[in-house]
Structure 1
Amino acid sequence: MKKALAGMRVLDLTQVLAGPYCTMCLADMGADVIKIEKYPNGDDTRALGPFINEESYVYMMVNRNKRSIRLNLKEEEGKEILYNLVRHADVFIENFRPGVAAKLGIDYDTLAKLNKELIYCSISGYGQTGPYKDKGGYDIMAQGLSGIMSFTGDKGGRPVKTGIALHDIAAGNTAVQSILTAYIHRLTGGSGQYIDLSLVDSGLAWTVWEAASYFGKGEVPTPNGTAHRLATPYQGFKTKDGYILVGAANQKLWMKFCSEVVEKEEWITDSRFCTNDDRIANISILEEEIEKILVNQSSTYWLDLLEKANIPSGPIYSYDQTLNDPHINERDMIIEYDHPKAGKVKTLGFPAKYSKTPGEISRPAPTLGEHTEEVLKELGLNLDYSRLLTKGVI
């Protein structure tokens, strides 16, 4: 079965998470991703545990389906090898701090002269322009600058980082979208181009409801715990033995919640709760009144009632519960493959389920430099591999 991106060749000079997540997604769809790892130690995540037979599980999570070569770009011969790879590539992606690629002689202007069809994507903390462009930027700094930390957490609490590397993943997803857009443009008569994206911009672009509140009525978003800032009840509530999520976010569901779940039909005509605006204005009172009732029965009891009333609802899982949930497993969100050093490895599955071009693991995450000779031989270059190894070029 031909994969959706078969024929696309990607040179991946990224490391850690945002860039590797992007190139993993492209590789899952069939692109030939050649991960060019820095000499001598490779991607920084190779040093992060946990380890299985000295292979980093963190590295393996976002580097499946790729080939790895170890290349010393500070050596002219190493740079020449990269130039030869560029001549046969469709996409080049890097996440150096702005200015570093130019110092190495691998910036867009240089590489576009070798391959005018090249799609070149730069991922950085703050972007290639602006007063912060030269600052080092990690996910947590992006969460701070985007304002997301200021409205994450409980009311009155300290700023809280989201539980995942939100801006890294947002940048990775934005890079996938941008590269595919540029690729389609090229396939339909356009040429190669340069893409500049940042962790900050990518995450900030996801704050759509918060921007609506600020632009629409000048409201600065603050932490709401699990509550939604525009609709209620749409949040987590304490029960007798835990917490559940209730999504009675429109008037019809609110009325069903009152009459069929908590048996408080008088709330429907209560002036504090009549409309969604009323409920938002009195959300603290509403939360307290709802929890007074829910704490008297178990989570299962209330979830059964909510399900019978066709009101969106669900549990708040610990991560081990998530990974053992029958629905998650039925959707193949946990898959297993054989790694040459680590053995049987479990990883997360493919979130998009294609009917004709499904994702698959055709290669395990590569060991460091595993495919160096294989990739270089494909270029047809007459190279003295022993000498290059001894010299520290590859």
Structure 2
Amino acid sequence: MSLPLAGIRVIDYSHFLAGPHLSRSLAAMGADVIKVERPGAGDAGRSHAFIRDGRSGYFIQQNMGKRGLAVDMKDPRGAELMQRLIAGADVFVENYRPGALAKLGLGYEELSAKNPGLIYCSVSAYGHTGPDAAKAGFGLIAEAKSGLLAQLGVPGAPPPLLRVSIADLYAGTHGVAAVCAALYGRTQTGKGTHIDLSLYDCTVSIHDYAVQEYLMSNGAVMPQQTGSDMPNSTVYGVFSARDGHLVIAAQVDDAWRRLALLIGGEALAGDTRFHTTAGRNAHRLEILPLVSAWVAAQPGQHAAIAALEAAGIPSAPVQTIDQVINDPQIVAREMIVDLDDPVLGPIKACNLPYRFRDADTRPTRSAPLLGQDNAAIAAELGYDADAIAAMRADGVLYEEEAVR
């Protein structure tokens, strides 16, 4: 059956990560996403690792399922083509500094005046209001300023970098929700809107306890670095086996009692000091060494997990990427998919998590080459073959060599 966003046209005028992730998600749910890039280099993500035969895995990951248009906006014909394209669009996604696109005639006020139903989604470092609105920023900046990094790592040591772009991806995911909500709202009002998403806002909103811990204690409690442990959720952390690491989530009362019975018998399970969350947190420095010693005494990581699972205690190995790719659960859920890339041929890529009972959300095409769909898109907009040929010859419509 058709995907839920079939018939929705999205113009992706974004680059790198937050915007492309947002629009790739919309493409997975059926939207016709047209990725618009500048002639020459295109999206800067095209040069981001990992590169094979000139193709970026990073770019493919965030742009699969889209069509590609490379147009010179400085040429009046290119500007006119873009205006025609946006006039028939439902959604416009951009992630430039506030005000930057207005100089190109692509600001919200101008576009919405011509297309009142347009949903215009802006993703920026700090949003379009506030004292920092004009500042540039990346995910790392938001993660640092949000207090997220300050809680990571060993006390006293510099916090480690997250090896995934939480701020960008979380903002992109919020963008998907906001765009879908705006599309529904448009069915009631007939009007579009401007969505203003900030990487900084999104990363602050991700805190599930730290902000409230500080506010509700009137500033008396400051969340700190705690290494591989959660002081407010004992037992909830990482433990070392002889041949690897594993996580144990026994922070709720019933799970703790099962864990206590497994590692210390009735004596530990019956210790009333540990029967509540507050009690376990207060005595965590007594509890954690007992858990660590039990894990270290097991024959290995898998043996420890088998014993924990048999006792009904949530646990899992700390897996490396090769183990994730081959995990039977990931294989069964089709989280790694096969693609046919126009340059690389058959490749594998990470899927998105959207699952609908009656629709297939697996990507049907790889990320576009730069300018791959120029001619088809221009023809859809009413340009004849001669006009398209002239724009191609003059570089208004740009195609990389692989397309030609």
The TM tier, using the shorter chain, reads over 0.9
Separation in structure 2 between the aligned mates of residue 274 and residue 258 of structure 1, nearest angstrom = 10
Q: What SS class does the counterpart of residue 62 from structure 1 fall into?
A: helix
Q: Residue 394 of structure 2 aligns with which residue?
A: 391
In structure 2, runs of 5+ residues without a counterpart are 398-404
Deviation sequence 1:223-275 (CA, Å, 0-9, x none): 2223234311111111222221111111111111111x203432345465342
**One-letter amino acid matched to 2:287:** L
Partner of 2:400: none
The answer on whether the counterparts of 2:378 and 2:388 sit within 8 Å (CA) in structure 1 is: no
Q: 1:258 aligns with which of 252, 257, 260?
A: 260
Cα distance in 2 for partners of 1:282, 1:263 equals: 16
Counterpart in the other structure of 2:245: 243
Q: How does 1:103-142 map to 2 (within 5 A)?
A: 103-142=103-142
The aligned residue for residue 161 of structure 1 is 161
- What residue identity is the alignment partner of 2:11? L
1:57 maps to 57
One-letter amino acid matched to 2:289? E
Deviations 1:81-121 (A, max 9, x none): 11111110000111111111111111000001110000001
**Pick aligned residue for 2:341 from 339, 342, 348:** 339
Q: How many residues align?
A: 393
Report the Cα offset of residue 46 of structure 1: 1.1
* Aligned counterpart, 2:210: 210
Gaps of at least 5 residues in structure 1 are: none
Deviation at 1:206, TM superposition (A): 1.0
- Which region of structure 1 is more displaced relative to structure 2, 344-353 or 129-138? 344-353
TM-aligned CA deviation for residue 63 of structure 1: 0.7
SS of residue matched to 2:68: strand
Q: Which amino acid in the other structure matches residue 388 of structure 2?
A: Y
Q: How far off its partner does 1:292 sit?
A: 2.2
Cα deviation digits, residues 130-188 of structure 1 (max 9, x gap): 11111110011010111101001223321222221000000110110010000000012
**1:367 and 1:167 mapped to 2: Cα distance?**
27
Q: Which amino acid aligns with 1:279?
A: R
- 2:352 aligns with 350
Cα RMSD (Å) of the superposition? Answer: 1.6
**One-letter amino acid of the structure 2 residue matched with residue 172 of structure 1:** G
Output the CA distance in 2 between the equivalents of 1:271 and 1:158: 38
1:58-77 alignment, distance < 5 Å: 58-77=58-77
1:366 equivalenced with 2:368 (yes/no): yes
Paired residue secondary structure (1:68) = strand
| 8 Å contact from structure 1 (residues 336, 346) kept in 2 | yes
- 1:325-347 C-alpha deviation (Å, 9 max, x unpaired): 11111111111111121111111
- Residue in structure 2 matched with residue 234 of structure 1 by the alignment: 236
Residue of structure 1 equivalent to 2:287 = 286
Q: Which amino acid aligns with 1:273?
A: F
Partner of 2:297, secondary structure, is coil
Indicate if the aligned counterparts of 2:247 and 2:316 stay in contact, CA closer than 8 A. Answer: yes
How many Å apart are 1:190 and its aligned residue?
4.0
The range that moved more, 138-147 or 265-274, is 265-274
Query: Is the CA contact (8 Å cut-off) linking 1:150 and 1:160 kept in structure 2?
Result: no
TM-score (norm 2): 0.93
CA deviation map 1:275-315 (0-9, x unaligned):
21122123233222221222111222221111111111111
1:78 alignment partner in structure 2: 78
Q: Secondary structure at the match of 1:194?
A: strand
Structure 1 window deviating more from structure 2 (295-304 vs 218-227): it is 218-227
Query: Which letter does structure 2 place at the counterpart of 1:288?
Result: P
Determine if contact 2:238/2:247 at 8 Å carries over to the other structure: yes
Q: Distance in 1 between matches of 2:163 and 2:273?
A: 34
C-alpha change, 1:43 and 1:77, in structure 2 (3 Å) is same
Displacement, 1:192?
Answer: 0.5
The amino acid across from 1:131 in the alignment is P
How far, CA to CA, are the matches of 2:172 and 2:205 in structure 1? 13
Q: 1:392 & 1:265 partners in 2: Cα distance?
A: 78
- 1:96 corresponds in structure 2 to 96
* AA partner of residue 198 (structure 2): S
Paired residue secondary structure (2:194):
strand
How far apart are the structure 2 equivalents of 1:78 and 1:267? Answer: 73
Match of 1:275 in 2: 276
Partner-residue secondary structure (3-state), 1:335: strand
CA contact (8 A) 1:10 1:89 kept: yes
Task: State, as a whole percentage, how many aligned pairs show the same letter.
Answer: 33
CA apart distance, 1:9: 0.2
Deviation at 1:369, TM superposition (A): 0.3
